[in-house]
Homo-oligomer: A and B are copies of this chain.
């Protein structure tokens, strides 16, 4: 049995007239009769009463088979449509890793607009450090990540989508806040609030390198495991922090951000993925993300 038999049967069952059904199917009447006979022979059951050659009528079995045939063709259409949507990356699940820093720069607007363009794609977000994301990619726990180069594993592909400099965050009542630019030297004896190294070794090391390059030793007084907490402590006058400039988006009152006078390392945010497990959704997402650069 082939789908052709179902399609032909439906046409005849609806028209109850071989000639008209054949016309509708754009074939001649005799082959249609033959195909229906074939179908009946294969089923071992008559689908039409043919008491006379003038008019035909569905048998009980035919009525039931008609309903089943409808369902089958509908299910086929549905299956095809679903497969196509998946094949085009328009539906399915996308698991995204992100660092606590990435959530402050491009990620929110990328997600917002991606959801608008691909509303059927379910986005699952997991906050992970850069190296956790690398592992998660290899374990296929996430499809893409938003992390910060350099990567440990060179089999992972990445594309930098955002670069930002480090700035000084300090209480707006702090005397240094008067200056347009702040020099590293002037921070030397300020109490420094930092993110713990294990949560963002890349960021931590870059901040420290500012001091190390100059053989300074910073005065670390506090650690906080959330960006918001660091800014809160700054606002409370507990010290100053060196943060990526996107943290300015927090718009916390009582906190001023000032660029650093000297040349300091740049913090990069990159989309990372595994080239050998590119699904259409991931491809769509990567293409989409790169329009944001």
Min Cβ gap A140→B in Å is 12
* A65 at interface, CB cutoff 8 A: yes
**Residues of B close to A88: CB separation below 8 A:** 45
- Report chain B residues within 8 Å CB of A71: 75, 79
Residues of chain B lying within 8 A (CB to CB) of residue A80: 1, 43
Flag if B2 contacts A60 (CB, 8 Å). Answer: no
Q: Is residue A3 within 8 Å, beta carbon to beta carbon, of the partner chain? A: yes
List CB contacts (< 8 Å) of A75-90 with chain B. 75-76, 78-80, 82-84, 86-88
Listed residue (A51, A64, A75, A83) with the most chain B CB atoms within 10 angstroms of its CB: A83
Which of B60, B79, B84 has a CB less than 8 Å from the CB of A72? B79
5 A-B pairs whose Cβ atoms sit less than 8 Å apart in the complex: A1-B76, A2-B2, A45-B88, A61-B280, A72-B72
Q: Is the CB of B3 within 8 A of A60?
A: no
For residue A270, give the distance in angstroms from its CB to the closest CB of chain B.
24
A84–B2 contact, CB under 8 A?
no
Alpha-carbon gap, A82 to B280, bound state (A): 40
| Chain B residues within an 8 Å CB radius of A92 | 60
Please measure, in the bound complex, the distance between the C-alpha atom of A72 and the C-alpha atom of B92, giving whole angstroms: 21
Query: 6 closest pairs, A vs B, by CB?
Result: A45-B87, A68-B79, A61-B87, A65-B83, A61-B86, A2-B2
Cα of A82 to Cα of B72 in the assembled complex, Å: 14
| A46 lies within 8 A of chain B by Cβ | yes
Q: How long is the Cα–Cα vector from A293 to B226 in the complex, in angstroms?
A: 92
List of B residues within 8 angstroms of A86 by Cβ: 45, 60-61, 64
Q: Is A30 an interface residue (CB 8 A)?
A: no
- Interface size on A, as a range, is 35 or more
Please give the distance in Å from A216's CB to the nearest CB on chain B. 52
Nearest CB in chain B: distance from A285 CB, A: 14
A135 within 8 Å of B (CB atoms): no
What is the minimal beta-carbon distance from A94 to any residue of chain B, in angstroms? 11
Q: Is the CB of A87 within 8 A of B75?
A: no
* A122–chain B nearest beta-carbon distance, Å: 13
Q: CB-CB < 8 A to A44: which residues of B?
A: 84, 87
Residue from the set A61, A68, A88 with the largest chain B CB neighbour count within 10 Å: A61
Is A217 on the interface with B (CB-CB < 8 A)? no
**Docked-complex contact A45 and B84, CB < 8 angstroms:** yes
Residue on B nearest A46 in the bound complex, by CB:
B87
Does residue A197 face the partner (Cβ distance < 8 Å to B)? no
Chain B CB within 8 A of A59 CB:
yes
Is A29 interfacial (CB 8 A cutoff)?
Answer: no
Question: Which residues of B sit under 8 angstroms from A68, Cβ to Cβ?
Answer: 75, 78-79, 82-83
CB <8 Å contact, B60 and A279: yes
A92 and B83 CA atoms in complex are apart in Å by 36
- Residue from B1, B43, B83 within 8 A of A87 (CB atoms): B43
